[in-house]
Amino acid sequence: MERFAEWLASKDAMSDVRLAAYLKKVDSWLLPKLSGLAILQVLQLVEARRPRLLPALSLSSAWQSRLDQAMTYSDLCKPSALMRLATALEAERNDD
């Protein structure tokens, strides 16, 4: 992460078009090898320095989709939701 942060900082004078091309390479080569936390840190670094270049990182939209799914599953797996499900299943079983 430190090396990426240094690299990104060294590109401050570079045009958005050229840097976007480099970020697309980062997106296809580097991001798939990183953990979720490291990807988040990369996105935060890009957002802090050049926020309009975030779309160059297409994996970020894929991760957003995964995070949305995870939030849905998290809501479904909360103890209160599971208790309601168990109660409904038990009531249905007793009705038979």
Q: Using CA atoms, how far apart are residues 96 and 93, in angstroms rounded to an integer?
A: 6
User: Which pLDDT tens digit goes with each residue over 23-82?
Assistant: 988 888 887 787 778 888 888 999 999 999 988 887 666 667 777 777 788 777 888 888
Residue boundaries of the structural domains of the chain: 2-95
Tell me the CA end-to-end span of the chain in Å, nearest whole number: 59
pTM: 0.58
Instruction: Report in angstroms the alpha-carbon separations of 93 from 9, 10, 84.
Output: 62, 65, 14
Q: Using CA atoms, how far apart are residues 66 and 71, in angstroms rounded to an integer?
A: 9
Number of other residues whose CB lies within 10 A of the CB of residue 60: 19
